[in-house]
Amino acid sequence: MKGNPLTMVPPLDRRRFLAITGGGIGALALSACAGPITSGAAPSPTTSTGTDWSKVTPAPEITFWSNHPGKSQDVETALINAYHKTQTETKVTLVTAGASYEEVAQKFQTAQQGGQLPHVVVFSDVWWFRYFLNDSIISLNDLLSHLKVDTADYVEGLYKDYEFNTKQWAVPYARSTPLFYYNKAMWAAAGLEDRAPKTWQEFATWAPKLKAANPSAQVAHMYSAASDYDSWTLQNKIWGEGGALSKDWTITCDAEPVVKVLQFTQDSVYKHKWAGVSAKDASADFAAGAAASFVGSTGSLVGVLKAAKFDVGVGFLPGGSQATDMVCPTGGAGLGIPKAITPEQQLAAAKFLAFLGLPENTAAFAAATGYMPVRKSSDMSAVYAKTPQAKIAVDQLSHTRSQDYARVFLPGGDREIGIASSDILTQQAKITDRLAKLKSTLTDIYTTDVKPKLR
Amino acid sequence: MALPNLVLIGAFTYRPLIMNIYYSTLNWTLGSATATVVGLGNYVRFFSSDAAGTVLTTTAVFAVATVGGSMVLGLLVALALNTNVPGTNVARAGVFAPYVLSGVGVGLVWLFIFDPVYGVLAYVLRRFGAESPRWFNDPTLSLVMVITVYVWKNLGYCAVVYLAGLQSLPADVMEAAALDGAGRLRRFGYMSLPLLGPTTFFLLITTILSSLQAFDLIRIMTPTSQGTRTLIYEAYVQGFGAYQRAGYSAAISVVLFVLLITLTIIQIAWVDRKVHYA
Amino acid sequence: MSLLTLKRSVEASPVSLSTGATPRRRRPRLSTVLGGYLPLVAIVLLVALPLLWMVLSSFKQVSEIITLNLHALPRHWSLVNYTEAFRTAPFGRFFLNSVLVTVVGATLKVLLAIHTAYALVFVRFPAKNVIFVAVLVALMVPPQVAILPNYVLVAGMNGLNTYWGIIVPSLGTAFGTFLLRQAFRSLPMSMLEAAEVDGAGHLARLWRMVVPTTAPSITTVALVTIVSEWNEYIWPLIITTDPNLMTLPVGLTLLQNNESGPAGYGVMMAGAVIVILPVLVVFAFLQRYIVAGLTAGSVSN
C-alpha cells in the first residue's frame, strides 16, 4: 500500500459500523469547519456600540480573570467581598487564569475560539492592543458614562494609555512605573548626595566612586537578567537621548539615539565595568547588597523593602543628554470587558470595574501590592506614613510618558526588542547590525500582523 | 470493538493534524474570528526568517546532545549495572525513576538547583572557588542547562534498554572470548558493541523522536525560550505565547511532523531491511 | 514499502514484556564487588540527590533558602511552605482532581486498548492492517500539535472546565493498543478456537481467556498509562481556567508566579514534592512492570 499516512482516515467496516458512526463522523466533519472565517472581509461592526444601557439589567453572576499581579489574590478577594456587601444583584467569582499576563492572555485568546469567556479580564500593557485588533474587547466609553464614572479622576497618563481611535478600551488597574532604587549606605560611603542621579551621564561619573567606596558590592548598577528580555526600562534611556523605538507606526529603533544608548549600556558593562547583568533577579541582587542600585518596577517596592537589610532610597528615573523630564514609561495592567458576552454581563462587568476603580479601593489595592493608585483622589496617606518611598513613586506618575507603539502595540514586539537588547548586552552583538535586524523584524510584524487589521 | 478507540484517535489525533495543515495556510491571529488565506506564505515566512536558522540549529543541537548524552551515559550505567552484585536491581530502578516523574516538577526542582546565587550548584562551585555559570544570561548556557536536566531525566531509559541488550548477548560466545584472554575493553569494543547494534539503533530512533517532542521541561525552565527555540517550543511560543500567530505556528508544527514521520519511516525501512537480509 | 513488509517488520521486533531481566550468573569475585559497588552508589546518588534536595528544601524557611551559607538539613523543620502552597492554591482539590482524572482516564484507556487490540488480533474485518498502521502513525503525532484544533472542538462542545474535557481527548490510545496487540498475538490460536467452538462470543473469549492469560502485560500498560496521565501537563493547562478543575502539574505552575523571585523556591519545592512523591511511591512498588512497559520493543534479537 502506498498512501500518505497524514490523510489516511481509518477505513471502517461499513456494514457493521456505519450505523453507529454516522452521527459521530458527521459531527466531526461539521466541527472540522470551526475556526476562523476566511472571507477576507473585516468583521462587520456589531451592535455593541448601540446598546441602550439604561434598558439592560446586570447579569447575576460574572467571573473576573486575574493572574493576581503583585501577589494580590488576598486583596482581590477582599475587594470582591466588599463589593458583595454594597450590592446583591451580581455575584463576582475570582478566577486564577494563569501565573502571568501571558498565560491569562493565552487562555483569553483561546477562549475566543469558542469557550467560556470571562466578563472582566486583566491584561498588561503589551497585550490589550491585540484584543482590540482581534475585536475581542468592547470600548468602554458608553458604559462608563452610563455608570457616571468620574473618568477625569483617573491619573491622566495611565488612563490615556488605553485610548485608541478616540475610544477607551480599558481602565487602569495594577499600574506601575520603573523606579530608581539605591542603597543609601553605599551612597553615603561614596560621599554622594542622598538622591537618584538626574541623568545617566551623571550616574556614569558617580559609578566609579560607588565602586571604590563599596568593595563588597560587585557593581554600582545591576541590569535585569538577559532571559527576562527587559525592553520596558530601555525606553527610559532612549527617550533621555531624544530617541524612540518608534514614532507612531514608523519603526525608529535603529536611529542614532538608540545606538548611542545601547553603546552606553554595553560600555558600562564591558568597558567601564561599573554595571553588571544580573544572574537571575536584579532586585534580589540589590537586596543582598551585590549592587548599589538598579531600576525596577514600583511593584517590587514592598518586596525590596522587606528583603533589604539597609536603608533603601528611591528616585525618579534618570534622564539623558536631551531630556530629563517625562522620560519614565508607564506600565502594568488594566481591566477590560470582552465583546462576545451578553450586554447584561457587560453591564455587570462594567459596574464591578467601576467599583474596583473607586479611589478608596485603588488605595487599598495599591497599599497591598505596591502598585500605583490609579485615581488622583485616592488617599494614600496611610501608605506614605508606613513607606515614605511610595510617595516618590506616586509623584513620578505625573512625569510619565506612554510607551512606544513598537513595544506595546506590535504583538511580540516587546519580546523582539528584549532579545535584541540582551544580545547586545550579554552576547556583545554588533549594535548597528543587530538594531537593523530588529527593525526589519518589527516592520515585518507590523505589515503582517497589525496593518491589515487596523480599522 | 476497536471502534471507540479508533474514533477517538481519529477525532483527537488525525483530525487536528489535518486541521493544522489547513490552519498553516492562513494568516490567522489566535483569538481572531477572521483570517486570510496565504497559501504557503507561512512556510516561506518561516524558512526565510532569521528565526529558521536559530530554530533548526537549536533543534538539531538539542536532539544530538540529549540523544548522544543519554545514550552514552546510559550505556556506561548499563555496563556498571551488568553485574550480579547485590543491590543492582535497586540501582536499576533508581536510575530509571526520573523517567516517570512529572516534567513540571522536575523542571522546578532543577531551576532551584541551577539558581546562580541561591542554588546548591552555585554553593558547591563557590566552595571550590569557582563562580556559577550564568545560566540565564547566555542562550547557549540556558540550552546546556536544559539539556543536562533532560539527560538526567532520560538516561535511565537508555540504561535499562542497554542493560536488557547486554543481558541478551550470547553468554557462551562472551565466555569463550574471555577464555581466549581478550581483555574487558577488547571484548566490549569488538564483541558487545557490535552485537548491541540493533539496541543502539532502536534507542537512537526512539530517543530522537521523544527529544524532538520535549516540551514540559523546556517550558518550565526557560519560559522566555532563551536559547531553547526548538521546533516544538517555537511552534508553541508563536501560537500561544507572545505572538499569537496561529497560522504561522501551525506551519511550524507541520514541519515538525514531517520531520518526525520521516524519521519513523527510516526506522521502519531499516527494520524492514534487517528482516529481509538477516 | 508494502504494508506486508511493514507488518512483518513490526512483528520482527517482538516485544519483551517479561518483568525484569535475569542476569547471567557468574561467580562473584572481590574485585567485581568493589569495582561494581562504587559505580552503583554513584549512579543512585546522581538520581537521588536532586530529589532529596527538593524534599529537604521544602521544609526550610525562607531565611534558610535565601542565604549564601547553605545547610543540607533544615535547622527547624517547617511546614510553612506546604501551608503556603495550600493557601495560595487549592492543592487538596488539585490532588483529588489528579487522582480522579488519572483513575478514570487510565481505566477507560486500558479498556479501550484491550478491546482494540483484541479486535486487531482476533476479529476478522477489512483493512485491519491499514488501521493498525494508522494507530502506529498516531504515536508520532506530538500532542502539542493537536492543542488548538482540539481546543476548538472540545470548547465548542462545552467541554471547558469539565472532567470529560480533560480526559476524553487523550483517551484514544495508540501506545496501549500497540503493546497489547503484541501480547495478544503470542497467545495460542487453538485455545481461542476451542472456545469459539464452545459458542463463546468475542466478549466472553476476551474477558474469560485473553485478559486473564495476559494479565502481566495489561498491568504494565495500566501502570504506564497511570503515570503518563498523572504527569500530563499542557492539555489540562489549556482546557481549565477554574482552579476547582485543575490537576496538580497545572496547579504547580500557578505557584511559579513571575514576581515571587527566589523567596518562592521553598513553596515551589513543596508543590513539586506533592506532584512527584505519589509517582515515586507507585514506582518503588511496581517498577518492574513500569520499566518493562516503557522499554518494550527494545530487544530485537
CA–CA separation, C151 vs C166, rounded Å? Answer: 10
Q: Which of A16, A99, A280 sits opposite C257 (nearest CB)?
A: A99
Task: Calculate the CA dihedral of residues A107, A109, A111, A114 and round it to 10 degrees.
Answer: -160
Beta bridge partners of A332: A175
CA–CA separation, C50 vs B179, rounded Å? Answer: 43
Q: Which of A320, A343, A378 is the last residue of a domain?
A: A378
Cβ neighbours of B34 in A, within 8 Å: 36-43
Name the range with the highest mean pLDDT among A401-415, C3-17, C209-223: A401-415
Question: Is C223:C295 a contact under the CB 8 Å cutoff?
Answer: no
CA–CA separation, A220 vs A218, rounded Å? Answer: 7
Does residue A296 fall inside a structural domain? yes
Shortest CA distance from A287: residue in chain C: C66
A288 and A372 part of one domain: no
A143 and A235 part of one domain: no
CA–CA separation, B28 vs C61, rounded Å? Answer: 48
How high is the pLDDT of residue A5?
28
Residue range C119-143: mean pLDDT, rounded: 85
> How does DSSP assign A276-309, residue by residue?
EE-SS-HHHHHHTTSBSEEEEEGGGHHHHHHH-S
Helix, coil or strand: residue B34: strand
User: How far from B269 is each of A3, A301, C117, CA to CA, in Å?
Assistant: 15, 62, 24
What's the one-letter identity of residue A262? L
Predicted confidence (pLDDT) at residue C239 exceeds the cutoff of 70: yes
Predicted confidence (pLDDT) at residue C99 exceeds the cutoff of 90: yes
Q: Hey, which bits of A141-274 come out as E strands? A: 163-164, 167-168, 171-176, 178-183, 221-223, 246-247, 250-251
For residue C41, the tally of other CB atoms under 10 A from its CB is 12
Does residue A204 fall inside a structural domain? yes
Any chains having at least 3 CB pairs less than 8 A from chain C are A, B
Question: Is B241:A102 a contact under the CB 8 Å cutoff?
Answer: yes
Q: Let me know if A50 is exposed, middle or buried by CB neighbors in 10 A (0-12, 13-18, 19+).
A: exposed
Does residue C248 fall inside a structural domain? yes
Nearest to A50 by CA among A118, A134, A143: A143
Lowest mean pLDDT across A410-424, B63-77, B248-262, C143-157: C143-157
A228 and A311 part of one domain: yes
Q: What pLDDT band is residue A151 in, cutting at 50, 70 and 90?
A: very high
* CB contact (8 A) between residue B132 and residue A279: yes
A91 and A196 part of one domain: no
Does residue B100 fall inside a structural domain? yes
Model pLDDT for residues A208-267, shown as the tens digit of each residue: 999 999 999 999 999 998 888 889 999 999 999 999 999 999 999 999 999 999 999 999
A190 and A322 part of one domain: yes
List the end-to-end C-alpha distance of chain A, in Å, as a whole number.
52
Residue range(s) defining the domain that contains residue A119: 51-175+332-378
**How many domains would you assign to chain A?**
2
Does residue B135 fall inside a structural domain? yes
Predicted confidence (pLDDT) at residue A1 exceeds the cutoff of 70: no
CA–CA separation, B42 vs A35, rounded Å? Answer: 17
Q: What is the CATH number of the domain that holds A364?
A: 3.40.190.10
Question: Is A296:A308 a contact under the CB 8 Å cutoff?
Answer: no
Mean pLDDT, chain C, integer: 81
* CB contact (8 A) between residue B108 and residue C269: yes
**How many domains would you assign to chain C?**
1
Does residue B277 fall inside a structural domain? no
Residue range(s) defining the domain that contains residue B92: 49-244
Nearest to B27 by CA among C22, A199, A6, A450: A450
pLDDT tens for chain B, residues 1 to 278:
788 889 999 999 999 999 999 999 999 988 888 888 999 999 999 999 888 999 999 999 999 999 999 999 999 999 888 887 777 888 888 899 999 999 999 999 999 999 998 999 999 999 999 989 999 989 999 999 999 999 999 999 899 889 888 888 777 777 777 777 767 777 777 777 787 888 888 888 888 988 998 999 999 999 888 999 999 999 989 988 888 899 999 999 999 989 988 887 887 777 666 544 33
Nearest to A277 by CA among A295, A260, A259, A261: A295
Residue range(s) defining the domain that contains residue C166: 91-296
Cβ neighbours of B226 in A, within 8 Å: 226-227, 229, 419, 422
**How many domains would you assign to chain B?**
1
Q: What is the CATH number of the domain that holds C279?
A: 1.10.3720.10
Dihedral angle sign, alpha carbons of residues C116, C117, C122, C126:
positive
Question: Is B205:B266 a contact under the CB 8 Å cutoff?
Answer: yes
How high is the pLDDT of residue B84?
76
Q: What is the CATH number of the domain that holds B177?
A: 1.10.3720.10
Lowest mean pLDDT across A327-341, B166-180, B241-255, C232-246: B166-180
CA–CA separation, B232 vs B252, rounded Å? Answer: 8
Place of cell 469459539: C196
A202 and A347 part of one domain: no
* CB contact (8 A) between residue C144 and residue B253: yes
Dihedral angle sign, alpha carbons of residues B170, B175, B176, B181:
positive
A211 and A109 part of one domain: no
Nearest 5°: the CA angle A244, A246, A248 is 125
* CB contact (8 A) between residue C115 and residue B1: yes
A244 and A310 part of one domain: yes
CA distance B152 to chain C (A): 8
Nearest to B164 by CA among C39, C280, C288: C288
Interchain contact A426–B (C-beta under 8 A) = yes
Does residue C6 fall inside a structural domain? no
CA–CA separation, B123 vs C69, rounded Å? Answer: 8
Does residue B249 fall inside a structural domain? no
Lowest mean pLDDT across A92-101, A371-380, C189-198: C189-198
* CB contact (8 A) between residue C24 and residue B1: no
How high is the pLDDT of residue A29?
40
Does residue C66 fall inside a structural domain? no
CA distance C227 to chain B (A): 7
Does residue C57 fall inside a structural domain? no
Question: Is C205:C90 a contact under the CB 8 Å cutoff?
Answer: no
Residue range C104-126: mean pLDDT, rounded: 92
Distant-in-sequence, close-in-space partners of C270: CB < 8 Å, separation ≥ 6: C58, C81, C82, C84, C85
A319 and A348 part of one domain: no
Nearest to B145 by CA among B101, B114, B105, B122: B114
Nearest-Å Rg of the Cα atoms of chain B is 23
Residue range A66-74: mean pLDDT, rounded: 86
Place of cell 545514550: B71
How high is the pLDDT of residue C33?
58
Q: What pLDDT band is residue C136 in, cutting at 50, 70 and 90?
A: confident
Question: Is B177:B116 a contact under the CB 8 Å cutoff?
Answer: no
Does residue C165 fall inside a structural domain? yes
A309 and A415 part of one domain: yes
Rounded to the nearest angstrom, the gap between the alpha carbon of residue B71 and the centroid of all alpha carbons in its chain is 11
Cβ neighbours of C300 in B, within 8 Å: 198-199, 202, 271
Which three cell numbers, joined as nine digits, stand for A189? 560611603
A253 and A140 part of one domain: no
Predicted confidence (pLDDT) at residue A407 exceeds the cutoff of 80: yes
Does residue C55 fall inside a structural domain? no
CA–CA separation, B249 vs B258, rounded Å? Answer: 14
Residue range C72-94: mean pLDDT, rounded: 88
CA–CA separation, A139 vs A153, rounded Å? Answer: 19
CA distance A50 to chain C (A): 28
Residues A277-296 as b or e (16 or more Cβ within 10 Å = b): bbbbbbbbbbbbbbbbbbbb
Helix, coil or strand: residue A32: coil
Q: Which of A17, A38, A227 sits opposite B3 (nearest CB)?
A: A17
Residue range A60-88: mean pLDDT, rounded: 92
Q: Let me know if C104 is exposed, middle or buried by CB neighbors in 10 A (0-12, 13-18, 19+).
A: middle
DSSP state letter for A248: T
Shortest CA distance from A437: residue in chain B: B50
A241 and A299 part of one domain: yes
* CB contact (8 A) between residue A226 and residue B34: no
